[in-house]
Amino acid sequence: MNITIAQLNYHIGNFEYNKDLICSAIEKTRSEGSHLVIFSELCIPGYPPLDLLDRIDFIAKCNTTVSEIAAFCKGITAIVGSPTFNTDPEGKKLYNSALVLSEGKILFRTNKALLPTYDIFDEYRYFEPETNFSIFSIKGIKIALTICEDLWDEQPFDNKFEKSRLYTVSPMDELARYSPDLIINMSASPFSYTKVEAKKKIFTSKAAKHGIPVVTANQTGANTELIFDGASMIINGEGKIYLQLGYFDETVFTFSLEDVFASNSPSPEFRHDPVSLIHKALVTGIRDYFRKTGFKKCIAGLSGGIDSAVVTCLASEALGPENVKVLLMPSRYSSDNSVSDSIELVRNLGVEYETIDIEKPFTAFLETLEPYFRNLEADVTEENIQARIRAILLMAFANKFGSILLNTSNKSEAAVGYGTLYGDMAGGLAVIGDVYKTDVYRLSREINREKEIIPVKIITKPPSAELRPDQLDTDSLPEYGILDSILYQYIELQKPADEIILDGYDRSVVDRVIRLINYNEYKRYQAPPVLRISSKSFGDGRKMPIVAKY
Kindly name the residue from 73, 148, 298, 313 that is annotated as catalytic: 148
Catalytic, 112? Answer yes
Kindly name the residue from 19, 62, 73, 112 that is annotated as catalytic: 112
Q: Which helix (H) or strand (E) holds 330?
A: none
Catalytic, 377? Answer no
DSSP 267: P
Burial profile 431-460: b = 16 or more Cβ within 10 angstroms, e = fewer: bbbbbbbbbbbbbbebbbeeeebbbeebbe
Burial of 427 (0-12, 13-18, 19+ CB in 10 A): buried
Residues β-bridged to residue 164: none
Using DSSP bridges, classify how beta strands 233-235 and 241-244 pair: parallel, antiparallel or unpaired. Answer: antiparallel
State which amino acid sits at residue 63: N
CA distance linking residue 91 with residue 414, whole number of Å: 40
Using DSSP bridges, classify how beta strands 429-430 and 251-256 pair: parallel, antiparallel or unpaired. Answer: unpaired
Q: What is the DSSP string of 81-147?
A: EEEEE--SSSS-SEEEEEEEEETTEEEEEEE------STT--GGGTBPPP-----EEETTEEEEEEE
E-assigned strand segments in 257-344: 297-301, 324-328
CA distance linking residue 49 with residue 133, whole number of Å: 25
Kindly name the residue from 19, 41, 200, 466 that is annotated as catalytic: 41
State which amino acid sits at residue 286: I
Q: Which helix (H) or strand (E) holds 26?
A: helix 15-31
Burial profile 514-540: b = 16 or more Cβ within 10 angstroms, e = fewer: bebbeebbebbeebbbbbbbbbbbbbb
Q: Where are the alpha helices (DSSP H) in 461-506?
A: 480-491, 497-502
Reduced to 3 states, what is the DSSP secondary structure of residue 347? helix
3-state SS string over 47-81? CCCHHHHHCHHHHHHHHHHHHHHHHHCCCCEEEEE
Longest dimension (CA), the chain: 87
Active site residues: 41, 112, 148
